[in-house]
Every structure is written in structure tokens, then in C-alpha cells.
Amino acid sequence: EAQVTQNPRYLITVTGKKLTVTCSQNMNHEYMSWYRQDPGLGLRQIYYSMNVEVTDKGDVPEGYKVSRKEKRNFPLILESPSPNQTSLYFCASSPRDRGGNQPQHFGDGTRLSIL
Amino acid sequence: LAKTTQPISMDSYEGQEVNITCSHNNIATNDYITWYQQFPSQGPRFIIQGYKTKVTNEVASLFIPADRKSSTLSLPRVSLSDTAVYYCLVGDVWVTGKLIFGQGTTLQVKP
């Protein structure tokens, strides 16, 4: 089954304790992206990757890191989490077809609570 | 980057056709228009994508005028299960991976 898998689905942790949210896709998609979703603010892009070893900042990259060492995986790293990073996070992937056909497939989300 | 503007909320009744319009005045030549549906605590789900004129699939139609400065998602004969948030997104990940979602439209379908 084609899917984007995020882990963990839920996490409660404390300020300053490094954490990683994993994201894996099995569709051989070139493009991957991370979003956070907060009430009243919609989906905001954190980082994206156009291909392996190519990453770039989205709208709200501060406090986050990513890596894309292989095509299927795109982990999100919070080196020193703070309470303002408490949010619902989504990973997504899509093909990078030149002629369109770029529907993003989203994971089920990771709810992070930073105390 | 094209910014999108949608109504914050809409109400409808079961069996009616619903049209949600998205404004994207500074859409780029290469940009595609994509609509997503999101239920609470779930990831957005792709509905439909188009570049110009009309696109139709098994769940919706997308109307795009010639100037492409707006688009309209049409949901025929909605049911209670269509109650969700609908997002319009404009962009082209072949050119740039930076994407900005609009605020979304909360559609409430009533019996």
C-alpha cells in the first residue's frame, strides 16, 4: 500500500530534550516536506526536499533541522525543543513530474507536546 | 509565491452542490492549482489538481478561468461526510518546493 509513515504519532517531552520525528514513504517520490499545523494558522511549511541531499527552508524553519540521506526518509529533528513547538506535524511526499501530476500524500500526523 | 485567499467557512445541506472559490491573483505561469480535504486529526487528502479550464474526477470538479487568478472547487450533492476543511494550494514542485497553504475553508454540511 502506498503510504507516508510518521513516527511517533504522539509524544510528550520536556524542553531541551532532543527528539526526532521519522518520516518514510514507499512511493519513490522525489519531493518531501514537513508542515506544522496550529489552530487558526493552517498548514505552514517547515522544510522541504526536492531530492536526495537537497533540502531548503520553508516558511517556519527556526528550531528545526532535516536531512535527506536517502530517497524514502526525511526525518525532522528538534535539537532543543521549546514549548512553542508544541503542534501537530505532518510529513508529505509527491512526485516531481514536470507536467503537473504532483499530488502530495500526507502522513497521519505527529502530535508533539513540549512541556 | 502565489498567496491564496478562501472563505473561512461555508454551510450547506445534504444533497446540495457546493462551490468553494479560491483567489490567487499572483499565480505564476508554471503553477498548478491543487485542492485538499482534511478531517480532524488526519492528514490532508488530495482531491483534484488542474492547470486551466475544467478538470473532473469521481469526487469533484475544478473550474479555472482563462486568467487563472481564481479557481472553484465544486462538490456535487454533498453528504454529512463531506464536512471538512478544504485547502487550495498553488505551486509547482518541479520549479520550487516552497509551498504556502491558504487558511482553508471549513465546510459544514447539515442534514
Q: What is the DSSP track for chain A?
A: ---EEEE-SEEEE-TT--EEEEEEESS--SEEEEEEEETTTEEEEEEEEEETTEEEE-S--TT-EE--SSTTB--EEESS--GGG-EEEEEEEE---TTS--PPEE---EEEEE-
Is A107 part of the contact surface with chain B (CB cutoff 8 Å)? yes
Nearest CA in chain B to A33: B97
Cα-Cα-Cα-Cα torsion A99, A105, A106, A107, nearest 10 degrees, comes to -140
Which pLDDT score is estimated for A95?
Answer: 86
CA of B34 vs chain A CAs: smallest distance (Å): 7
What percent of chain B clears pLDDT 90, i.e. is strictly above it?
Answer: 74
HSE-CB at B23 with a 13 A cutoff on CA atoms is 5
Contact yes or no for A25/A3 (Cβ under 8 A):
yes
Residues of B in contact with A97 (CB under 8 A): 94
pLDDT single digits (tens) A28-46: 999 999 999 998 888 999 9
CA of A91 vs chain B CAs: smallest distance (Å): 9
Between B96 and B19, residue with greater pLDDT:
B19
- What is the mean predicted confidence (pLDDT) over B36-46? 93
Which pLDDT score is estimated for B102?
Answer: 82
Residue B5 in this model has a pLDDT that exceeds 90: yes
What percent of chain B clears pLDDT 70, i.e. is strictly above it?
Answer: 98
Task: With CB atoms and an 8 Å threshold, state whether B43 touches A107.
Answer: yes
Between B92 and A56, residue with greater pLDDT:
A56
Contact yes or no for B80/B94 (Cβ under 8 A):
no
pLDDT single digits (tens) A62-105: 999 999 999 999 999 999 999 999 999 999 999 877 676 688 99
- How far is it, in rounded angstroms, from Cα A13 to Cα A80? 11
Query: What value, to the nearest 5°, has the Cα angle with vertex A13 and ends A9 and A15?
Result: 135
Residues of A in contact with B94 (CB under 8 A): 96-98, 102
C-alpha distance from residue B58 to each of B38, B75, B76, B80, B104 (Å):
18, 10, 10, 18, 22
Which pLDDT score is estimated for B51?
Answer: 93
Which pLDDT score is estimated for A40?
Answer: 82
> In residues, how long is chain A?
115
Between A1 and A85, residue with greater pLDDT:
A85
Which pLDDT score is estimated for B54?
Answer: 95
Q: Which pLDDT band, with edges at 50, 70 and 90, does B84 fall under?
A: very high
- What is the mean predicted confidence (pLDDT) over B26-45? 92
Residue B8 in this model has a pLDDT that exceeds 80: yes
CA of A20 vs chain B CAs: smallest distance (Å): 19
- How far is it, in rounded angstroms, from Cα A84 to Cα A86? 5
